[in-house]
Amino acid sequence: EPEVTQTPSHQVTQMGQEVILRCVPISNHLYFYWYRQILGQKVEFLVSFYNNEISEKSEIFDDQFSVERPDGSNFTLKIRSTKLEDSAMYFCASSVDRVGNTIYFGEGSWLTVV
């Protein structure tokens, strides 16, 4: 079964450092997303991406965050200067269409900022 893959599975970084989380969406999917989940809290939407541009973003997705699809397969989330409160599980997801019923999540990248 096709799946969304994410790397790294776990990263520890110093506060203020830049972090790049990588994702390979399912190959025929056109819509890509990042969600995050702080330990013990809700899964929260960060950003959606379609046709090489951001379609929608949440209030969380401020100037410290950026997304990119540098080639035909990877989809990345960059956090420019990490803060302690950025510690969370970050999930990449993809879907064939925009309706939302076929959103598949990757296994997540656990980011710890110290």
Partner 1 sequence: QKEVEQNSGPLSVPEGAIASLNCTYSDRGSQSFFWYRQYSGKSPELIMSIYSNGDKEDGRFTAQLNKASQYVSLLIRDSQPSDSATYLCAVPNAGGTSYGKLTFGQGTILTVHP
Q: Which residues bind partner 1 (CB under 8 A)?
A: 31, 33, 35, 41-45, 48, 50, 55-56, 58, 91, 93, 95, 98-101, 103-108
Whichever of 18 and 68 has its CB closer to partner 1, that residue is 68
For residue 85, what are the CA distances in angstroms to 15, 38, 47, 63, 82? 10, 9, 18, 15, 8
Q: Minimum distance between the CB of residue 88 and partner 1, rounded to whole angstroms?
A: 13
Kindly report the number of other CB atoms within 10 A of residue 12's CB atom.
12
Q: Minimum distance between the CB of residue 76 and partner 1, rounded to whole angstroms?
A: 18
Q: Minimum distance between the CB of residue 70 and partner 1, rounded to whole angstroms?
A: 21
Kindly report the number of other CB atoms within 10 A of residue 86's CB atom.
20
